Amino acid sequence: MEQKKKTQTSGVKLTEGQTFPLTIKRLGINGEGVGYFKKQVVFVKGALPGEEVVVEATKVEPRFSEGKIKKIRKQSPFRVKAPCPIYEQCGGCQLQHLAYEQQLKEKRDIVIQSLERHTKFNINKLDIRETIGMEDPWNYRNKSQFQVGLQNSKIIAGLYGLNSHRLIPIENCMVQHPATNKVTEEVKKILQKFNISVYDERKRKGIVRTIVTRVGFESGEVQVVLITARKEIPNKDLVIEEIKKRLPEVKSIVQNVNGNKTSLIFGEETIHLEGEEVIQETLGDVSFELSARAFFQLNPLQTVKLYDEVKKAAALTGKEKVVDAYCGVGTIGLWLAKGASELRGMDTIKEAIEDANKNAQKHGLKNAKYVTGTAEHWLPKWIKEGWRPDVIVVDPPRTGCDRNLLDAVRKAKPKKFVYVSCNPSTLAKDLEYLSKEFKVEYVQPVDMFPHTAHVEVVTSLELKISK
């Protein structure tokens, strides 16, 4: 018989299947409850700070354990009933069972925990502000990427369940804009009508892998992207005609081919099928053209608040040279361009840069220029040519800033560095790395994804004056 895993901390043994009492101290970065059993850290999905629970150990590792709730002895006053019927199965949201106002407080605490863990800063002396939330924290996502599969010979679309490869069908996601829900449902029916096969990962057969929909909150325009395993789609013209007939709000139909064995949604080849190549979106008084693969913030309402915080942190007077690194379609840069003397941005995705330059042109911004490539390539080159930025803004992926980029920033020595982060852990590590040259002025959390454990942060840094 296989021996059950045990872990030892100060002579304490914890065994898989064992039940034990636990007081939850805080939320972890994935939204799980965190408690300590005889100094051993235990993560418990669904448990909330302040709760006293009976836990069953489900996974035991040398440095931590995971458990599930068997019983809640003392319930948090902030625990609420999750309104979504598939909340427990889906795993797309992690905090629907926590009152929204309290979610905002816990997200600030997640930022504090990351800074405590990864930096030597005196947290009590840091200006860490209250999290900026939403007035109505539902139906905020402008884009859905639902995998397709078969269930009882019917096409379903949804997300894989938490820690499983079981596809959970989602017909009405409560955090998605209603238009993305409606369009995905109709496209699914159209694929069924014309017998378009869905991709089977195990057999590596079938055609459609994913239905991606994106809506412009202001324009109401919708783009549909069919991610397929191969280029040929049988009855393609009939599918396109049916989408146009049933869904007049769909202004752009695109195909993306991804035949690789990968968890990445998009492949390299994108084919424009019908309608416009882009859809329109407006943030504040800035409008954008969005192509299928262009990165754009998923919560437009909060994006306005986020970018206003970036503008505040940059504190431009009209004289500054600004760099927008990881610029995507130029969203942050366009928000700042009017207050800058010159703005330069870069990104490694060629289509995003094309969109960024088009967007700048459309707004008559002659002082904005976007180039393809990395900041670590362009910054030293520009400095060598005698062009030195006063302000650098970064909005990197979850992995944080590339170390070469941070080195380039340290050498460039801008007066201000504004760091927009979607991952407090990598933010904290990067801030620690920059701390010799830069002083953290303040940290502003923003809730871009209500009911999930994600928190976005705008950090304002200033160059330390050498003595």
161, 90 contact by CB (below 8 A): yes
Nearest by Cα to 394 from 446, 327, 312: 327
- For 281, list phi and psi in degrees, rounded to 5: -140, 150
Measure the CA–CA gap between 43 and 68, rounded to whole angstroms: 8
**Could you give the angle at the alpha carbon of 330 between the alpha carbons of 278 and 365, nearest 5°?**
100
311, 299 contact by CB (below 8 A): no
- Exposure of 278 in the CB half-sphere (CA atoms within 13 A): 18
225, 254 contact by CB (below 8 A): yes
How many CB atoms are located within 10 Å of the residue 169 CB? 18
How many CB atoms are located within 10 Å of the residue 71 CB? 11
In Å, how far from its chain's centre is CA 227? 20
- Exposure of 147 in the CB half-sphere (CA atoms within 13 A): 17
In Å, how far from its chain's centre is CA 7? 34
Q: Token digits for 5? A: 């895993």
Measure the CA–CA gap between 369 and 333, rounded to whole angstroms: 10
Catalytic residue among 84, 90, 327, 422: 422
Please say if 93 is a catalytic residue.
Answer: no
Tell me the catalytic residues. Answer: 422
